[in-house]
Amino acid sequence: MKQIRKNVFETNSSMTHSLVVCKNDKFDDWVAGKLMFKMYGQKFADVETARKENAKQFRDSIKWYEDTGREYNRDKFNEELIEKYERGEMKENWTPFSSYATEDYFITFDQFCNYVRMEGYELVDETSDVDGTKMTVFGYYGHD
């Protein structure tokens, strides 16, 4: 195998692979609903912070729809719902978008599992001890 980019594992495969390595306690907190995870950027945030960041992106999306004159469902996606979501009055898994947009937002563990299932991928999670630190590797794989 030829290395093209530094610190990146690449294959010449038609398979999709996505793996994240994190400390076991972060993974456990995500599964328990204490954290949310952003697939692009691969970072965790507490639920309150994640909701605020998601709400900002939702507002930016509304502005984009309105600026471009594109249609969107105002009954399911509006400022009132965004405010309720941000305050924690709606379930963490509320999103006005399809599963295809989940990579750009902080998501719950359930949303991640739904995304993997809807895309037809297989979920991976494995816990191991690395030099005394419990680590979890999670992600998904499958054909494009």
pLDDT of residue 36: 93
Residue 24 CB contacts under 8 Å (≥ 6 apart), including other chains: 127, 133, 134, 135, 136
Per the prediction, the chain carries an average pLDDT of: 80
How far is it, in rounded angstroms, from Cα 96 to Cα 82? Answer: 9
Contacts (Cβ under 8 Å, ≥6 apart) of 44: 22, 26, 29, 30, 35, 36, 37, 38
pTM: 0.74
Please report, for the chain, the start and end positions of each structural domain, with discontinuous segments joined by +.
26-124
Q: What is the pLDDT of residues 16-72, one digit of tens each?
A: 567 777 788 898 999 999 999 988 878 999 999 999 999 998 899 899 999 999 998
More confident residue, 116 or 51: 51
